[in-house]
Amino acid sequence: MEINLDKEYYNIVKEILESDEFQKRKNYKHHNDSVYDHCIKVSYISYKISKKLGLDYQACAIAGLLHDFYKKPWQNDRTHKPLFKQHGFVHAKEASINASKYFPKYMNKKVIDCIKRHMFPLNIIPPKYIEGWIITMVDKYVSMDVFKKPANLYKYVGIKENSNLMNCVRKSYLNFILVLYAII
Ligand SMILES: [Fe+2]
Ligand SMILES: [Fe+2]
More confident residue, 96 or 29: 96
Number of the ligand closest to the Cα of 91:
1
Close Cβ partners of 26 (under 8 Å, ≥ 6 residues apart): 34, 36, 37
- Where do the domains of the chain lie? 7-147
Distance 91 CA to ligand 2 centre (A): 10
Output the pLDDT for position 162: 58
Mapped onto helix, strand or coil, the DSSP state of residue 33 is strand
- Going by pLDDT thresholds of 50, 70 and 90, the confidence category of residue 111 is very high
Number of the ligand closest to the Cα of 39:
2
- Going by pLDDT thresholds of 50, 70 and 90, the confidence category of residue 165 is low
Reported as a single tens digit per residue, the pLDDT across 34-78 is: 999 999 999 999 999 999 999 999 999 999 999 999 998 887 777
Evaluate if residue 28 carries a pLDDT over 60.
Answer: yes
From 42, 47, 45, 88, select the one nearest 65 (Cα to Cα).
Answer: 42
Output the pLDDT for position 32: 79
Output the pLDDT for position 4: 85
CATH of domain 7-147: 1.10.3210.10
Close Cβ partners of 110 (under 8 Å, ≥ 6 residues apart): 56, 59, 63, 128, 129, 131, 132
Mean predicted lDDT score pLDDT of the chain: 87
Cis bond leading into 126, ω under 30°? no
Distance 55 CA to ligand 1 centre (A): 22
Output the pLDDT for position 43: 98
Ordered DSSP codes for 100-141: HHH-GGG--HHHHHHHHTTTTTTSSSPPSSHHHHHHHHHHHH
Number of the ligand closest to the Cα of 115:
1
The conformation of residue 30, written as its DSSP 8-state character, comes to E
Mapped onto helix, strand or coil, the DSSP state of residue 34 is strand
Output the pLDDT for position 77: 78
Reported as a single tens digit per residue, the pLDDT across 71-109 is: 988 877 778 888 888 899 999 999 999 999 999 999 999
The conformation of residue 4, written as its DSSP 8-state character, comes to P
Reported as a single tens digit per residue, the pLDDT across 120-153 is: 999 999 999 999 999 999 999 998 876 666 566 5
CB 92 within 8 A of CB 115: yes
Close Cβ partners of 136 (under 8 Å, ≥ 6 residues apart): 117, 118, 119, 120, 127
Burial of 84: CB neighbours in 10 Å, binned 0-12, 13-18, 19+: exposed
More confident residue, 169 or 138: 138
